[in-house]
Structure 1
């Protein structure tokens, strides 16, 4: 974050009303625009859209800042934050203790790791352990892939069954394609993405059991950027209080994943 933005946000913490209005500046938000419904390119307009985009527009009004979205790959987000290219990671990134050595998370949505398959691939017994020994895909750079392997060790290998054939893909879209084309027996992605797929292609996908885990998505800022962290918390709290957070949840059909209170580094 630039010194100018840091100074203005710090000032905004102790001023209000018309005085704060004079402190408007630009907040640069890094997004990975291939993960609907969180952030993705609208296929009709080619514009960035999604829950995170709309929520940041709400937060920008609460924080009295202008927005600039920087699209990059998921792998580039943390380096972009470290180098100051972006001020905050605004894409769907899970708040995990292992990621907090150089980042702090403002948690804004519940998530997890959900196994699912196609109706064509669905076995008679629709339980997760029915997929032990089967090919299951997940994006290799995300925590979903780690949790898939942990689930396999616990549920399959731990019960004397063959390990799942965990296959890492380049991203969620690649996992979806591999599943539809029969190269995978099942997949593990976030419940928000699975809901989106099920709404876009009715009667194509089915859930496999309950989520393998429950976590939070968090807006990530660099360690030490306390003023920006606190302003994001304040803006998110205000959006919960005035109903604008709920309206964004409703728009993207994510009501079941909404938070009731704002936490910082609350993920496990």
Structure 2
């Protein structure tokens, strides 16, 4: 099954959202007139700070603001480290997480996700070594850096077992970094041979830094990115699902994704925990 088909297969089941829940925000959110959203702006083009103005920018920022406008509230962005986001959500410090988070089965044990795009883990190397690493298996036995806070280390190790070790090649040496920016720094310094990050981010980085990075192969996972909510906040979750559905219908959703050149990552319908919303 190809990554594209795997993503499509995820949405075959249906999650019911009642019309009232899809329209109405919880009373506490209405009273506050805002949602507090966890976001760490270090993952361009999804979220980042404009170096000239220090203003928040990115697809997640634009989509988050559009969703809040649709719901009639404002957004208070809370800059929280990725590893602290889930605890901040479950303890009530923030209302939701909108920060390039993958909707993973293990995260669904404590969170619900309104999925809004598809992504995948992607190998890349430095441009100067593009002839050395032409296909992903060329990275077998090599040092590959990726954020230790993400699902990439486990996914890379799993891929390595199937594509390297099972074929008699040495395993990829997974190097956990402090984030995607740290992984890129290690790659530039020659401390690692390759790196991994979300496929949605690399075209943007390549456009910014010409002849610096080279994508190796196709994405080797197929995952959904979602806005995360506490399990108990079904009202807020469903209100966001309804708002996203209206943005898709109006064309605003497509406009936002196209503005970042990420139309290929769009979903055809709203999903909650990977299941299509009726």
Deviation at 1:253, TM superposition (A): 1.3
Question: Unpaired segments of 5 or more residues in structure 1?
Answer: 1-9, 17-21
Distance of 1:204 and 1:53 partners within structure 2: 26
Deviation at 1:182, TM superposition (A): 1.1
Aligned partner of 1:70 in structure 2 is 78
Aligned partner of 1:136 in structure 2 is 144
Distance of 1:59 and 1:202 partners within structure 2: 34
Higher relative contact order (CA 8 A, sep 6+): 2
**Pair 1:200–1:147, CA change in 2 (3 A):** same
Deviation at 1:195, TM superposition (A): 1.4
**Pair 1:104–1:208, CA change in 2 (3 A):** same
Query: Matched residue of 2:241: which SS?
Result: helix
Post-superposition Cα deviations, 1:40-79, rounded to whole Å, max 9, x if no partner, equal 1111111211110100111011111111110110011001
**Pair 1:15–1:104, CA change in 2 (3 A):** closer
Q: 1:43 aligns with which of 30, 33, 51?
A: 51
8 Å CA contact 1:40–1:49 kept in 2: the answer is: yes
Distance of 2:103 and 2:40 partners within structure 1: 16
Matched, 1:112 2:129: no
Aligned partner of 2:27 in structure 1 is none
8 Å CA contact 1:24–1:64 kept in 2: the answer is: no
**Pair 1:36–1:208, CA change in 2 (3 A):** same
Aligned partner of 1:228 in structure 2 is 236
Matched, 1:209 2:217: yes
Aligned partner of 2:179 in structure 1 is 171
Distance of 1:53 and 1:14 partners within structure 2: 22
Distance of 1:124 and 1:38 partners within structure 2: 30
TM-score, normalised on structure 1?
A: 0.90
Deviation at 1:125, TM superposition (A): 5.8
Which stretch has the larger CA shift, 197-206 or 47-56?
Answer: 197-206
**Pair 1:254–1:11, CA change in 2 (3 A):** closer
Query: Matched residue of 1:206: which SS?
Result: strand
Query: Matched residue of 2:99: which SS?
Result: coil
8 Å CA contact 2:124–2:216 kept in 1: the answer is: yes
Deviation at 1:14, TM superposition (A): 8.2
User: How many residues are paired up?
Assistant: 253
Distance of 1:244 and 1:145 partners within structure 2: 35
**Pair 1:65–1:24, CA change in 2 (3 A):** farther
TM-score, normalised on structure 2?
A: 0.87
Query: Matched residue of 1:109: which SS?
Result: strand
Where does 1:1-268 land on structure 2 (aligned, <5 Å)? 13=21, 25-124=33-132, 126-266=134-274
Distance of 2:85 and 2:78 partners within structure 1: 10
8 Å CA contact 2:117–2:266 kept in 1: the answer is: yes
Query: Matched residue of 1:126: which SS?
Result: coil
Post-superposition Cα deviations, 1:107-155, rounded to whole Å, max 9, x if no partner, equal 0011110001112122346111111011111101101111111111111
Deviation at 1:25, TM superposition (A): 1.5
